Each structure stands twice: as structure tokens, then as C-alpha cells.
Amino acid sequence: MRVPFARRWFCVHRGVRTAVKFYGEDLDRQYKIGYNKLRDICGGSGSKSANAVPEYRTLNGVCSMKVDLSELFDNPGRAQDFSGEVDLADVKRHGDRLFEGPVRIAGRAQNRAGIVSIGYQADFVLGAVCDRCLTPLSRPQHLEFTHTAVLSLNREDNDEYIVVSDGQLDLAELATADILLELPTSVLCVESCKGLCPVCGANLNEGDCGCDRSQRDPRLDKLRELLDE
């Protein structure tokens, strides 16, 4: 996927801010990509930190969490637990913030017979509005993800593995990419939501407003013909 130049300058800063800025502030206009492509566009995983496992650092007020996996690759059977919080407060949909509070991450990385597997869960509160009736919603979410980490790949377009060439996994960017890819494209208060009256704007879930909705906008006739085909 070729990324327009206007998007590339967002990659000056790495970490969660990079991911949020790359996806942008409104998900309705975003490229949704995985961890490998995001890290490749943003210039790799950066310099290696030898001391912190995981390392927490702040970029523009956003916490970026680095997990050092280098020793796991060299020691079959070894495991490493990790946990932290990711701030996705800048992510918006239709101009509204999607996340109420931080995303809590907890998981484990383990070398199984020479293969480093990563499993973690993400818990957060999704804040949105119903796409039909515009009712504010607040829904706790629990997502689980699994990945296999490798130091290099023969094929650059292989998304089955995540590449940590220097042994440093940016868990914050991984979680950001995973979560944004899993977000629903449509949010409804209930599947049977009746939406708003096109005449007066009343919430039809609360009762019929009595408006005459039989009149059609002639400008939409061509669209109706296409939908009827």
C-alpha cells in the first residue's frame, strides 16, 4: 500500500503517538494497517534499551511501552509477563472520542521450541454514539490477541508474523494496531434501532413522532433505483 506523502510526516515521532497520528484523528478516513507495515513506515523499532523489561517512556504525554524480547529468542522455554496502559485518547470517530480512559494491557511472551509466541488481552471502555439514533454509548470491551514474533522475514508482505529485528517489541504500537483493526465499522445501541425521524429528528425508539414520512426526496430517486436492482 502506498502511503501519501502528507501522511508520512506523522512518523517523525515514534510510539503510540505515531500510531494514533498515522491512523489519524478520525477513523472514517483512515488506512488500517498491521504492526509490521506501521513500523516499517515509521522507520523501525528505534534504539535498543538494555535495562528496562519492559521500558516505559513518554512521548508527547503518551506512554510507549517497549518489551525486550532479545533474551527470549536465545532461551527456549523462557517466558516473560508484561502489563501496562496505552492512551488512545486522540482516536476519534465522527469527531467523537472512542476510548474512555486508558487501554489496559496484560499478557505473556514465551519461547516455545525456539518460536516466540505473544499473547495478551486488552480491556477498555468504548465510548461512541449510535450510528442511527445518536444515543451516547459506553461499553466495556475485552479483546484477546496472539502473535508469533520473529527477528526477520524472507517476505516483506507476510503479516502472519510480527518482526522485531532488534529484539525490541513496541507493545503500545502493537496493541494500537490490533485494537483499531478490531473496532466495528458500525456502532448501534441495539440491532433493532429505529433511528431518527428524517423530518423532525426525533428518536423513533422513544415512540412515533407522528410526522408524515411518506414523501420522498426526489434527489434520491436514482439511488433508490440502484438499491432496488
Same domain, yes or no: 145 and 207: no
Same domain, yes or no: 156 and 203: no
* CA–CA gap between residue 147 and residue 222 (Å, rounded): 47
Domain assignment present for 152: yes
> If pLDDT is split at 50, 70 and 90, which confidence band does 160 have?
confident
Same domain, yes or no: 218 and 128: no
> If pLDDT is split at 50, 70 and 90, which confidence band does 227 have?
confident
Please enumerate in sequence order all residues whose Cβ is within 8 A of that of 155, keeping only pairs 6 or more positions apart, or say none.
none
Same domain, yes or no: 155 and 225: no
Same domain, yes or no: 125 and 156: yes
> If pLDDT is split at 50, 70 and 90, which confidence band does 158 have?
low
Please enumerate in sequence order all residues whose Cβ is within 8 A of that of 89, keeping only pairs 6 or more positions apart, or say none.
97, 99
Domain assignment present for 97: yes
Q: Are 111 and 76 in contact (CB under 8 A)?
A: yes
> If pLDDT is split at 50, 70 and 90, which confidence band does 39 have?
low
Residue 57 pLDDT > 50:
no
Report the number of secondary-structure helices (H) and strands (E) in the chain: 6, 10
Task: Pick 221 or 103 by higher pLDDT.
Answer: 103
Residue 117 to residues 64, 81, 105, 145, 162, Cα–Cα distance (Å): 21, 12, 16, 11, 10
Same domain, yes or no: 12 and 121: yes
Same domain, yes or no: 34 and 118: yes
Average pLDDT over residues 69-93: 86
Count Cα atoms within 13 angstroms, Cβ side, for 193.
Answer: 17
> pTM of the full predicted structure?
0.64
Condensed to tens digits (0 to 9), the pLDDT of residues 146-156 reads 999 888 877 66
In terms of C-beta density within 10 A (0-12 exposed, 13-18 middle, 19 or more buried), how is residue 202 classed? middle
Average pLDDT over residues 13-33: 40
Task: Pick 82 or 12 by higher pLDDT.
Answer: 82
Same domain, yes or no: 57 and 120: yes
Same domain, yes or no: 124 and 206: no
Same domain, yes or no: 150 and 119: yes
Average pLDDT over residues 55-62: 35
Please enumerate in sequence order all residues whose Cβ is within 8 A of that of 210, keeping only pairs 6 or more positions apart, or say none.
none
> What is the percent of the chain with per-residue pLDDT over 90, rounded to a whole number?
25
Residue 188 pLDDT > 50:
yes
Domain assignment present for 188: no
Average pLDDT over residues 93-114: 87
Same domain, yes or no: 203 and 172: no
- Beta-sheet pairing, 62-68 with 168-170: antiparallel
Range of weakest confidence among 18-22, 65-69, 107-111 = 18-22
Domain assignment present for 104: yes
Domain ranges, residue 86? 5-182
> If pLDDT is split at 50, 70 and 90, which confidence band does 157 have?
low
Residue 26 pLDDT > 50:
no
Domain assignment present for 178: yes
Average pLDDT over residues 22-34: 43
Average pLDDT over residues 218-226: 80
Residue 134 to residues 35, 128, 188, Cα–Cα distance (Å): 32, 9, 9
Domain assignment present for 126: yes
Average pLDDT over residues 125-144: 93
Domain assignment present for 60: yes
Number of domains present in the structure of the chain = 2
Same domain, yes or no: 145 and 57: yes
| Model pLDDT, residue 66 | 81
User: How does DSSP assign 14-76, residue by residue?
Assistant: -SHHHHHHHH-S-GGG-----HHHHHHHTTSS-S--SS-SSEEEEETTEEEEEEE-HHHHHST
Domain assignment present for 187: no
Residue type, 151: L
* CA–CA gap between residue 73 and residue 155 (Å, rounded): 20
